[in-house]
Structure 1
Amino acid sequence: MERLSSGEFFGLTSQKLETGGLILTDTVYTHDYVDWHYHENAYFTFILTGNVIEGNKKGKVNLSAGSLLFHNVQESHYNIKPPGETRGMHLEVQSHWIKEMCPDVELKEGSCEVTCARTKILFYRLLRESKMGDDLSSLGVQSLVMEAIQPQFSRSKESGFRPPWVNKAGEFLHDNYISPPTLKEIAAVAGVHPVHLSRAFTKYFGCTIAEYIRLLKVERAFSLLSTKGNSLSTIAHCCGFADQSHMIRCFRAFSGHTPVFFRQLFKI
């Protein structure tokens, strides 16, 4: 079984940025099939355009634009690329960086798909920062990575207890953000009183319910930007925004830039 060293991926790598134990690569996948292999470092794969199928010990997972996958160190897998261009950004995290920056965490075993909308938007911002190419890029990358990956590690010194209603509310909003439910409907599904839901939601999600719904809309819009032929007005409609202007305002609020700015990044 082949072992890939730091910064090495199958395909055509157009950019590699290394900074203090973090390695970012921007790669176009050129192989229709990649046999079983593993990587030297733990890393994240973020699909920017296209599709890829990854197989591992647990089975297969279909990844499309906007999908984010975490691989623990030396986790073996294989890849199948459907027809069309597929491009991915990889974030490798070397062991010495983890020990220095996150000494009280343990990496999750195996491979797992990351579904958190906030984390995915941070990875889009990470792509933007990696393209800045100035003397602040390393600082920007380090800061964004710290913010993005902390929730993905299981802490060994903290219980991390989350009441069952938290996941119920989150899943319900994930399934219904295009036509948002009322506060009473969310509370009924979660099994808690609307007052408790309103007060406690920010503690577990880091924002209000309304802000979280906007976040889900923006994350979905990001994934549609890379598809050719999708106009901004079409994307806004598909994601449940009032109109294109509403989507642009939300984009700026969560990412700091407009949809057009990020659409250009996908073409670089």
Structure 2
Amino acid sequence: MTFYPAGEAHQTIQKQFPAQHINIELDDSFLSQYQLTNEQLGNGIQATSDCAIIILKLYREFQQTDCFSTASRGMLIHQLLNESRPGFIPPWVNIVEELIQDRWHEAITLTDLATAADVHPVTISKYFPKYFQATMGEYMRKLRVTKAIALIKSPHLSLTDIAYQCGFADQSHFTRTFHQLTGFVPNRFRQL
């Protein structure tokens, strides 16, 4: 994902052939409507942990031609930009996020998070969906699928190897979760 502020000259450089690109252009009225600056937008996009998953869903929506696809595309763009909005975030949220990012392939418990962040487990349970826009299980699955997306690009790794490296119980669990989150089965994604 590359962000270019409005008005900045740019070009797309293909690092691997064949490559596919999705360009999303947002005009000034969009930024005004949602009270965003280019800086907030760029920082938010870079901070969105499940950016690749959202982009894959957006790609799938561009392939649809029904009456719901335009609204769905808008919702996905807003989801992508959700973290761009300014606001206070308690310090424990950053600690929890860092621990999850460091131990994404492990089975982390609520107690582990609470101990590391020095807050009560109920606090994390209550506020996790607010700050992470998902339950802990959904967030962990998204993170593992995001890691898998990078590994799928390596043709020398089997899908079973990727499943185990990303902490899934087996290839079928990996395939099911990947499909639920992206709309693609891993083999089809690899072909893209």
Query: Counterpart of 1:134?
Result: 65
Equivalent residue pairs, number: 190
When structure 1 is superposed on structure 2, of 166-175 and 244-253 the one drifting more is 244-253
Contact map agreement 2:178 2:184 (CA 8 A) in 1: yes
Match of 2:94 in 1: 167
**CA–CA separation in structure 1 for the residues paired with 2:102 and 2:88:** 24
Secondary structure in 2 aligned to 1:92?
coil
CA RMSD of superposed structures (Å): 2.8
Correspondence for 2:166: 239
Out of 137, 140, 147, the position equivalent to 2:79 is 147
Q: 2:163 and 2:187 mapped to 1: Cα distance? A: 13
CA shift, 1:177, in A, is 1.1
Within a 5 Å distance, the mapping from 1:1-268 to structure 2 comes to: 68-75=1-8, 84-85=16-17, 87-99=19-31, 102-108=33-39, 112=43, 114-130=46-62, 132=63, 134-136=65-67, 137-152=69-84, 154-155=85-86, 160-264=87-191, 266=192
Q: CA deviation at 1:231?
A: 1.6
Bigger share in strand = 1
Q: Percent identity?
A: 32
Structure-2 residue corresponding to 1:39: none
Q: TM-score, normalised by structure 1?
A: 0.61
| Runs of 4+ displaced beyond 3 Å | 74-82, 109-113, 135-140
Equivalents in 1 of 2:3, 2:115: separation in Å? 33
Any stretches of 5+ residues in structure 2 without a counterpart?
none
2:35 partner letter: D
Q: Write the letter of the residue equivalent to 1:121.
A: I
Q: TM-score, normalised by structure 2?
A: 0.81
**Amino acid of the structure 2 residue aligned with 1:261:** R
Greater RCO between the two (CA within 8 Å, min separation 6)? 2
> Given that residues 75 and 111 in structure 1 are in contact (C-alpha distance below 8 angstroms), is that contact kept between their aligned partners in structure 2?
no
CA distance in 1, matches of 2:142, 2:41: 28
SS of 1:189's partner is helix
Residue 88 (structure 1) shift: 4.7
Q: Larger % of helix: which?
A: 2
Q: Which blocks of at least 5 consecutive residues in structure 1 are unaligned?
A: 1-67
Instruction: Name the CA distance, whole Å, in 1 between partners of 2:81 and 2:120.
Output: 32
Structure with greater Cα Rg: 1
